[in-house]
Amino acid sequence: ESKYNFKTVEAKWQNFWEENGFYIVTEDKTKPKYYDLEMFPYPSGNLHMGHVRNYAIGDVVARFKTMNGYNVLHPMGWDAFGLPAENAAIKHGIHPSIWTDSNIENMKRQLKSLGISYDWTREFATCKPEYYRFTQWLFLKLYENGLAYKKKAAVNWCPSCATVLANEQVVDGDCERCGTRVEKKSLEQWFFKITDYAERLLNDLDKLPGWPEKVKIMQKNWIGRSEGCEFSLAIDGSAETVSVFTTRPDTVFGITYMVLAPEHPLVEKLTRDTPYQQAVDEFIHRMKFLNEIDRTSTETEKEGVFAGAYAVNPVNGEKVPIWIANYVLMEYGTGAIMAVPAHDQRDFEFARKYGLPVRVVIEPEGMSLDPDVMTAAYEGGGVMVNSGQFDGLGNEDGKQKVIEWMEDRGIGRRAVNYRLRDWLISRQRYWGAPIPIVYCDNCGPQSVPYEQLPVMLPLNVEFRPTGESPLTYVDEFVNTECPSCGGPAKRETDTMDTFVCSSWYYFRYCSPHVQDRPWDKEAVDYWMPVDQYIGGVEHAILHLMYSRFFTKVLYDLGLVSCEEPFTNLLTQGMVLKDGAKMSKSKGNTVSPEDIINTYGADTARLFILFASPPEKDLEWSDQGVEGCYRFLNRVWRLVAEYSNQVRGVEAYGGGSNLSAADRELRYRTHFTIKKVTEDIEKRFNFNTAISAIMELVNALYQYKDNEHQNLAVVKEALKALVLVLSPFSPHIAEELWEAIGGEGSVHQQQWPKYDEEALVKDEIEIVVQINGKVRERAMVPSGAGPDEMKTVAMSLDRIQEMLAGKTVRKVIAVPGKLVNIVVN
Ligand code: ANZ
Ligand code: ZN
């Protein structure tokens, strides 16, 4: 019992928790609820240190809130659909479901060995029919409400993964997974209409004070709201008009040409059977193979061709040439722009390249710009010039005046544009939730009736990277009956983006076993919103945006009562080793399992929480782990030495006379309680909380050297120590709690409260010197004056002994510090 054997201790308490269903919660209405959620993992095979960090942080929160009287929901599950399983199938011939199940089993075992307080009865995997049935159910809800639609779209296509990628999965023009250059391909694809919610997704960020500012800024930029106007220009000699979106109506007199995106429908109309057709066709053909990122990158050379037609500028009647160029995208605004090279850098570069005119219409106050010598566009503000009746107006004012002028004439109107695009959810993949739609030659696309869900993934499939879903080749899957006319019909073979599965999983945890609906409304109303969400900042945009979108849609449909899913968000930093992010590809990983086997879960957790505050990056350090291990051993020995003496003793509760040393220990005890409580509650500063605990242990060791021992005070200190340590290192805390005679489980105790009075330091320590040499220390009242200090010093046993036979010549007192006795 005297040696810390973490293996026995951790196994013992993990069994105890499991056997007693310790972390199972129900919707107990007598207690305030607290929903503590960590982003669920993809079952890749093994936990990595990033996971350990994420879950250790979440577990401190769960245990702390539980001890503070909350009914805490702390669930775990698996984001189990997705590409790696399918790639493993292609590579090793293992079925994705078998690969996924065995990974889940392994990672679950690893999670349990970490001692995280999950309610495992709520576990689910998104790849199981019991779950994806409702992912399909939700798809149908969106479809019925006009929020899911199919359209032909140019998509990002990774030729190596043979799949469609969302914009967000394209990093600098390359596939996020394999690094291959991404191409463009036109396919019929399913979309969710997240753009309908752009404004609310933006505005409601203000309702999230508990989110990190940087995440809100990222979301804001992603939504990308721009204000400006849309207006149309006539095309010379044609009945057609072309409309443009601009954020700079104040520069409308500076238009010297116009640009259409290569995909713009007018291109064909304007150039068909003209001498320009061939050059335009060639250009467009070339652009097809470039993706959006390459086309719009500032480094990419701007290129274009003249369309052979002219547009008429409505403010001054001028005819300007219409060009087709790579830098204008069909997917933004109207797919056409008015070009103002003097004030837009992209237009400037293009104009210089093709010898198009540059006309200055905004000048900075007191300065004039010469278009012939300008080397870059002037994009700043200023005064309108060369702008007819608007001359002399400040440009911000001018923007409004030009819009009004256009509105009065019915040419244009104020407009808002968002960078946010609709969410492309189609994947030409097997390992995802099938989209519950069938196509009938007579009736067109039909929803699969709710009672026929789930549309089951067939097990027997062949995996070949063909670019089509493997489901396309499974006749029994594809061929079905039309739910409307009963005739032959074909199933949709696309599956859903896995971000769909993870956009609603936090609702499912509230009532994971209901079979006839995705959740029980009452349970969801009890638990939601999530009080604390914890995960990697890499999900700052997509997952969090999609989840917010789903929640708003479900709210509008009356299916849930909250409009935002996550009240507080904590984005944890990375785990680094040797200054670089720990990753398989860099070969600098440390295996959590090895660390747990060598030092135990309590040490692993303590180190990870102690090494750095949660939001900052954490540098792995073997010495740091060793240090935490030594610390837990030190705590163990301390308790072991005291346990027999204090087991039956009541913790100090006031009353009897305390020595200075007793008071000092009580001060440290209550200081620690206060510090740990505030560090966890207000700032998640687990690192400083743990330092405070370490100091309390030092204080206890110091106290142990005293001859006089007040066991009630010691008991009070040990109790507090074990209680405040328990969220960080939960197994050893249980064992020590038992050792000092604590009742029940440490995790079911009330969080300790600090005693304000103990925190008032009414005495201070001074040193007593003889001829300038420190000989003794003493406690004096904190306001003691020189005389009182001298009296105390002279009366000390040790000092009297040393003064025997000597003549005191002088006694000097420095208040708050020392007494020096000068002798012959
Ligand atoms: C004329 C102009 C003059 C512009 C000027 C800017 C400065 P944000 O802020 O991103 O919304 N634009 C509009 N549609 C486009 C498209 N489909 N592809 C590429 N560029 C497009 O940008 C809005 C500005 O981007 C618009 O305002 C337009 O150029 C361009 F001194 O119009 B501007
Ligand atoms: Zn039909």
- The pLDDT tens digits of the residues spanning 46-95 come to 999 999 999 999 999 999 999 999 999 999 999 999 988 988 888 888 99
pLDDT at 727: 98
Distance 429 CA to ligand 2 centre (A): 26
For the cut 80, the answer to whether the pLDDT of residue 802 exceeds it is yes
Q: What single DSSP character describes residue 685? A: -
Measured CA to CA, the distance from residue 607 to residue 620 in angstroms comes to 9
Q: Are 433 and 135 in contact (CB under 8 A)?
A: yes
Residue 173: left if φ>0, alpha if ψ -120 to 50, beta else—which one?
Answer: left
Q: Is 751 helix (H, G, I), strand (E, B) or coil?
A: coil
Distance 247 CA to ligand 1 centre (A): 6
- The pLDDT tens digits of the residues spanning 617-650 come to 999 999 999 999 999 999 999 999 999 999 999 9
Please report which confidence band the pLDDT of residue 553 belongs to, taking 50, 70 and 90 as the band edges. Answer: very high
**Phi, psi angle pair for 713, to nearest 5°:** -70, -40
For strand 479-481 and strand 488-491, is the pairing parallel, antiparallel, or unpaired?
Answer: antiparallel
Asked if residue 529 has a cis previous peptide bond (ω within 30° of 0), the answer is: yes
Q: Are 275 and 364 in contact (CB under 8 A)?
A: no
Residue of 470 and 141 predicted with greater confidence? 141
Of 328, 325, 289, 300, the closest CA to residue 182 belongs to 289
For the cut 80, the answer to whether the pLDDT of residue 353 exceeds it is yes
Q: Are 96 and 430 in contact (CB under 8 A)?
A: yes
Residues forming beta bridges with residue 41, ordered by sequence position: none
- The helix (H) or strand (E) run that includes residue 155 is strand 148-158
Lowest-pLDDT range of 57-66, 235-244, 650-659: 650-659
Closest ligand relative to 419 C-alpha: 1
Please report which confidence band the pLDDT of residue 467 belongs to, taking 50, 70 and 90 as the band edges. Answer: low
Nearest CA owner, ligand 1 atom 28: 246
> Residues 800-822: what's their mean pLDDT?
92
Of 378, 242, 383, the closest CA to residue 314 belongs to 242
Nearest CA owner, ligand 1 atom 32: 246
Residue indicated by tokens 């006031």: 654
Ligand 1: which atom is nearest the Cα of residue 247? Answer: 27
pLDDT at 269: 94
Please report which confidence band the pLDDT of residue 654 belongs to, taking 50, 70 and 90 as the band edges. Answer: confident
Lowest-pLDDT range of 4-13, 215-224, 758-767: 758-767
Residue indicated by tokens 């400040």: 394
Is 428 touching ligand 1 by the criterion CB < 6 Å? no
Lowest-pLDDT range of 158-162, 188-192, 624-628, 792-796: 158-162
Residues forming beta bridges with residue 311, ordered by sequence position: 235, 320
State the angle between helix axes of 96-114 and 6-19 in degrees (0 to 180), rounded to the nearest 10: 110
For the cut 90, the answer to whether the pLDDT of residue 286 exceeds it is no
Measured CA to CA, the distance from residue 127 to residue 49 in angstroms comes to 25
Nearest CA owner, ligand 1 atom 19: 328
For the cut 80, the answer to whether the pLDDT of residue 298 exceeds it is no
Please report which confidence band the pLDDT of residue 750 belongs to, taking 50, 70 and 90 as the band edges. Answer: very high
Residue among 337, 387, 399, 420 to mutate when testing ligand 1 (max atoms within 8 A of CB): 337
Instruction: Give whole-number Cα distances, 111 to 183, 734, 797, in Å.
Output: 40, 19, 58
646 Cβ contact list (under 8 Å, min separation 6): 711, 714, 715, 718, 740, 741
Look at the alpha carbons of 489, 494, 498, 503 in this order and tell me if their dihedral is positive or negative: negative
> Residues 226-238: what's their mean pLDDT?
96
**SS3 labels along 95-123:** CHHHHHHHHHHHHHHHHHHHCCCCCHHHC
Q: What is the mean pLDDT of the chain?
A: 94
Distance 337 CA to ligand 1 centre (A): 7
Ligand 1: which atom is nearest the Cα of residue 336? Answer: 17
Closest ligand relative to 442 C-alpha: 2
Distance 229 CA to ligand 2 centre (A): 45
> Rounded to 10 degrees, what is the CA torsion of 160, 163, 167, 169?
-60
For the cut 60, the answer to whether the pLDDT of residue 545 exceeds it is yes
Is 333 touching ligand 1 by the criterion CB < 6 Å? yes
